[in-house]
Amino acid sequence: MCIRDRNSDGQLTEKNTRTPALFKNQSFFLLIVIILLSVIFGSMNPRFLTWGNLLAVFQQLTVLGIATMAMALLLISGGIDLSIGSMIGLSSVVICTLIMRGSNVGLAILIGFGIPVICGFINGVIVSKSKCVPLIVTLGMNYVYYGLALVISQGLFLSMKGNFQFLGRGRVFGVPMPMIIVIVMVFATHFLLTYTKYGRRLVAMGGNEQLAYLSGINVDRLKIMNYTLSGAIIGLASLVLVSRLGNVLANAGEGYELRALAAAIIGGVTFEGGRGTIAGTFLGVILLGIVQNGLNILNVSSYFQTLAVGVIIVVAVVVSNLEKIRNR
């Protein structure tokens, strides 16, 4: 953007206030950062760049990657859900409890998948009809779902005894099944958000809810649908997690809501809504995974890892808002 102004001689001059292209395209910026960090970690410890370690990084990120797709859809539409971690825990507890009591594995999977869908629907109804702040509503529901998981599990350690491992540990032509699932989810979410009327309406609602309403969009129904869809995505994340672990506690999903939020923000999604890409969001997930894995390999304390993630989030927020800051 160029702004015209007069100099000391009264002549008109133009000032270029454009943000450098590197910072305007946050996905490209993140890709450069990921490559640089990989080179740095690899030079400090050659084990980092081995195929086995890189494969492990992606496998560890599968559940977070899926959950972040749900969070990104909500943030872009102007919403948020801080209960997704408890949804994962509740779903995992129910699946393990049913299987331990002799229920059919397929039925247990179906019920476990359906629980986050119902939770998402409930969240959407409360947010849309009460007009309350989504952050507060879902924070409260986070405790509700976690409490239900504790009641069902009685705080005990639950095990599926080897049942239902394919989604979390299986391989297709040598490729881990969780990696296939998260890649499919990334492309599916990108397609939904970019090439469908539903996705365009989400972006419009996130950009300006009042204008979206005036343009004929049923905002309340769209919110309920989006929270329900996000619940379905969380249901898939729950299946992958419980299949991989085999043993769960009520707090199995603890922390996923904050990490998913962090990854989405790092990827360029904003709290204001109407802005962000799925590609950038997934790169945010990868960046978090690389930082955590690289610091682990270097035997850096978990306290400093938390500090590093916080710094990355702050830098990402500043970079994503650089254009707005320069134009003030």
Burial class (CB in 10 A: 0-12, 13-18, 19+), 101: exposed
pLDDT for 275 equals 84
For the stretch 311-317, contacts whose Cβ atoms lie closer than 8 Å and that sit 24 or more positions apart, written own/partner, are 312/266, 312/287, 312/288, 313/262, 313/265, 313/266, 316/26, 316/265, 316/266, 316/267, 316/268, 316/284, 317/265
pLDDT for 322 equals 64
pLDDT for 8 equals 45
pLDDT for 13 equals 46
Burial class (CB in 10 A: 0-12, 13-18, 19+), 22: exposed
- pLDDT tens digits, 100-131: 888 888 899 999 999 999 999 999 999 999 98
- On whether the CB atoms of residues 295 and 102 are closer than 8 A, the answer is no
The amino acid occupying position 272 is E
Low-confidence ranges of the chain (pLDDT < 50): 1-23
* Residues forming a β-bridge with 14: 4
- On whether the CB atoms of residues 109 and 239 are closer than 8 A, the answer is yes
pLDDT for 221 equals 95
The amino acid occupying position 297 is I
